[in-house]
Copies of this chain bind each other. A is one copy, B any other.
Amino acid sequence: MSTTATNDTWVHDVTLTAPSLQDNTADAERLGDALAAALGVDHVDRDFDLLVGLPEQLRQWDYRARCVCIDDHGRGRLVALCDPRSAENPLGLAVDLGTTRLVIRLLDLVSGESLGEVAFDNPQLEVGPDILTRIHFADTDGGAAHLAQLVVGGLNDAIGRLCAAQSRVREDIYLVAIAGNTAMTHLLLGLETRWIIREPYIPVTNRPGLVRADRMGLRVARGASCYVFPNVGSYFGGDLLAGILFSGIAEAEQPALLVDVGTNAEVVLGNRDWLIACAGAAGPALEGGVTKMGMMAGPGAIDRVTMDPDTRALHLHTIDDEPPRGICGSGLIDLAAALFLSGRVDIRGKLVPDRCGAQLTEADDMHQLVLVPAAESASGVDLTLKQADLDSLLRSKAAMYTILRTVTHYVGVGFEDLAAFYVAGTFGIYIDPRAAITIGMLPDLPLPTYQSLGNSSLGGATLALTSRARFAQIDALRGRITYLELNVNSEFMNRFSAAKFLPHTDPSRFPSVHVLVD
C-alpha cells in the first residue's frame, strides 16, 4: 500500500493496491487502512453514507482517492471522498461567529490559501442586539429554533455570495470551522442557553466537537463536517480559544497577554508552560454603548481624534471620511486622552469648564462638550460628549486595567515582563495604544509591545482547517487554561477605585503620560 508523504493538511491523496484473491480486504477497509497510514493513526472512522457508491468510485478512480479528513478526539475521521482527477481542490470555510457581525472565509484545503471573505451583520440582531435578549427569546416557544435559523440562513446566503465571487460551488466545501462565544455557539446549534446565564453558569457542552453540517442546516457538501471550537465555560468561548491558537502565546517562552474587548474584556496571560484566563465586564463604553453619540465602528464613526499641539484644536477622523454620525470606542479613547492632555478633563475625568471654553454647554444639569455642531454632523444635530459618557468610559477603562492588574498579580508577572500584548478584533485594529495608555486603560509599556491581532477568531478557525498540527493543539490548549474567577472582593474594588483616575492614582505607573500632561 503506497501513500503520499505525510502532510499537514486535511486532504490526503491515497493510492490503494488493487484487490486480488490474495488480498480480499473490502473496499472500505482497504481505503481506511491506507488513510490511517497516511494520517499516522490507528483507525479512521467514517460515516456510513460514505460506503454507498464507494466500490464504483474506487474502480472508476483506479484505486486512488482524495480524502478529506478531520480529527475526532484523536481519531481520524474520513469526511468525504473526492475525485483525485479533479482540477478543483476541496474547500473549507472558517467562520467567526460574532454576536454582532459574522465573517466567513473560503479556504483551499490543499494549499491552505485564503480565497476570499464575506462579512455580514448577525441576523439575530433583529431579535436583540445583545446576547441576553436573545437568550431570553430562546427560552420562548420556538425561539431557539428561530434564532438558529436566522444565523444559519445568514451563513447560507453569505456562503452563496462568497462562492459566487470565487467561481466555486458550495458543494465543494467539506470542512467548516466555527469560532464563537459560548452563547452564540449554543444559539447556532439550537442548544439550550438558559443555564448559561444562571448561576453556576453551565453550558450544555464544552466541546461541541464535530457536527454534521446538514444536521445544522448548513448548505455545503453532503456529509460535510463542522468543527465547533470548544469553550472553557459560559464566559470563555471558542472565539477566545481560537484567538489563543492564532496568537501563538501558548508556544512562546516569554509570557504575553491577549485581550479581546467587547462587552466583556477577555484576557489571557501565559506562555508555553502556563495559561491563565479571565473575563470581566468592561462596560459598554468601549463598544459604542455610551449615550446618544456612541456607535459601533462603521462609516461615519469618529474613530480617531488627534489634537494640534499648538492650538489644541481637535481633529476628528471618521471612517470612510463620511460626515460624523457618532463616535466608536477607539475615537472615544483618543478623545478622552486628548481632553485629558489638554487639561479639558481633570484627573477625576471631569470636564473642566475653564479649559473647555465655548464648546462646553449644559443639558439636563450636566456638562457636555459639543464636538460636532449640527451643521456638520450627518444627523443635523449636535454631536456632544456628555459628562456621563466620560464617567462610563472611566468605569470601563478602570475595569480593564484592574482585570489586567489582577491577572498579572495572580501569577506574579509584572507588566514589564510581557513580551507582547496582543489586542484582538476590531478594537485591536482601531485602538491607538498611546491614547489607551494616556487614559490608563492599558499599562504604560513600550508601544511596540502592543500588537493588533486582527480577526483572531477567524484566524484560529483558519488554522484549524489548514494545519493538522495546529488543530491538534486546540484540545490541549483548552485543557491547559486555568480560569481565574474574578471575585469582586475588596482588593478588586480597591484596585478598581484607584484606576478610576486619569491615568491612575499612582502616577509612577504611567511615567510616559505625566510628561505630557499640561
* A2 contacts chain B at the CB level, 8 A cutoff: no
- Cβ-neighbour of A204 out of B24, B27, B190, B207 (below 8 A): B27
Point out the residues of chain B lying under 8 angstroms from A72, CB to CB: 45
Contact B51 A204 (CB under 8 A): yes
A48-B211, A55-B195, A192-B56 given; A233·B29 CB < 8 A: no
Q: Decide: A45 near B73, CB < 8 A? Known: A51-B191, A190-B52, A192-B56.
A: yes
Task: Please report the C-alpha to C-alpha distance between residue A78 and residue B53 in the assembled complex, in whole angstroms.
Answer: 29
Closest 3 CB pairs of A and B: A28-B205, A26-B203, A26-B206
Q: List 24 A-B contacts (CB under 8 A).
A: A19-B200, A21-B200, A21-B201, A21-B485, A24-B200, A26-B202, A26-B204, A26-B205, A26-B233, A27-B202, A27-B204, A28-B204, A28-B205, A28-B206, A48-B208, A48-B211, A49-B215, A51-B189, A51-B204, A55-B192, A55-B194, A55-B195, A55-B202, A56-B192
Indicate if the CB atoms of B234 and A54 lie closer than 8 Å: no
A24 touches B202 (CB 8 A): yes
A133-168 with Cβ < 8 A to chain B: none
A205 touches B29 (CB 8 A): yes
- A126 beta carbon closer than 8 Å to chain B: no
Q: Nearest residue in B to A74 (C-beta to C-beta)?
A: B43
Q: Please measure, in the bound complex, the distance between the C-alpha atom of A192 and the C-alpha atom of B55, giving whole angstroms.
A: 7
A75 at the interface (CB under 8 A from B): yes
With beta carbons under 8 angstroms apart, the residue of B26, B190, B202, B211 that contacts A19 is B202
Q: How far is the CA of A169 from the CA of B43 in the complex (A)?
A: 36
**Of residues A45, A55, A211, which shows the largest number of chain B Cβ atoms within 10 Å of its Cβ?**
A55
Q: How many residues of A contact B (CB 8 A)?
A: 46
Residues of chain B contacted by A7 (CB below 8 angstroms): none
Residues of B within 8 A of A311 (CB): none
Q: Does A518 contact B (CB under 8 A)?
A: no
Chain B residue contacts of A54, Cβ below 8 A: 192, 204
B residues in contact with A364, CB < 8 Å: none
A window 179-221: CB within 8 A of B: 189-192, 194-195, 199-208, 211-212, 215
Inter-chain CA distance A29–B478, complex, in Å, is 13
Tell whether A489 is near chain B: CB-to-CB under 8 Å: no
Judge whether A199 and B21 touch: CB under 8 Å.
yes
Residues in B with CB closer than 8 Å to A74 are 43
Shortest Cβ gap from A28 to chain B (Å) = 4
Please measure, in the bound complex, the distance between the C-alpha atom of A51 and the C-alpha atom of B21, giving whole angstroms.
46
Q: A19-B200, A73-B45, A204-B55 are in contact. Are A24 and B191 (CB under 8 A)?
A: no
Q: Is the CB of B205 within 8 A of A27?
A: yes
Residue of B25, B49, B200 near A20 (CB, 8 A) is B200
Whether the pair A215, B27 counts as a contact (CB closer than 8 A) is no
